[in-house]
Amino acid sequence: MMNGVQGEGVVYSTTLDETTTDTGNGKSKSRSISIKISLSMMFAPEKISIIQMNQDSAIISRNEYASDEIPETLTMEMDTAYLIVETYKYDFEGNLVVTRSLYDRDKETIDTFYCRDDGICIKKWAQINWNNNEINNH
């Protein structure tokens, strides 16, 4: 249980350990397991913008999605050098919060989040299809 007002980025972790020992024929055999659970607090994502940028940092395209409607595969335009992924959400006071992540051609996937009806946010990965095209050098 977590109480009080918590902000985005707060992380809670707990570890559960168990060891069992079996003895038979004069020999003991121990088995142990450890499970770590971590929860990160975040504001619920409302929408995601995926902005394709060329090597001169000019916008090639911009697509907006509801946070739970990101396609499984994102196909890039030929001249796309990198992506900016913007996540739009609101804090507890209703203020808009925008976070940004950069993805270059070395990345094969992007990761975003969407929230279920019960408030649990789930990470979702989308494949980046760079088309294996070289960026035109002008």
Residue 3, phi then psi, degrees to nearest 5: -125, 165
Q: How far is residue 25's CA from residue 21's CA, in Å, rounded to a whole number?
A: 13
Write out the two tokens for 18.
Answer: 């168990």
Paired residues of 44 in beta bridges: none
Paired residues of 55 in beta bridges: none
Tell me the pTM.
0.74
Q: How many CA atoms lie within 13 A of 92 on its CB side?
A: 7
- What is the per-residue DSSP string for 9-55? T-EEEEEEEEEEEEEETTEEEEEEEEEEEEEE--PPEEEEEEEEE-T
Distance of CA 125 to the CA centre of its chain: 7
Q: pLDDT tens, position by position, for the chain (138 residues)? A: 455 556 788 888 999 999 999 888 888 899 999 999 988 889 999 999 999 999 999 999 999 999 999 999 999 999 999 999 999 999 989 999 999 999 999 999 999 999 999 988 999 999 999 975 554 444
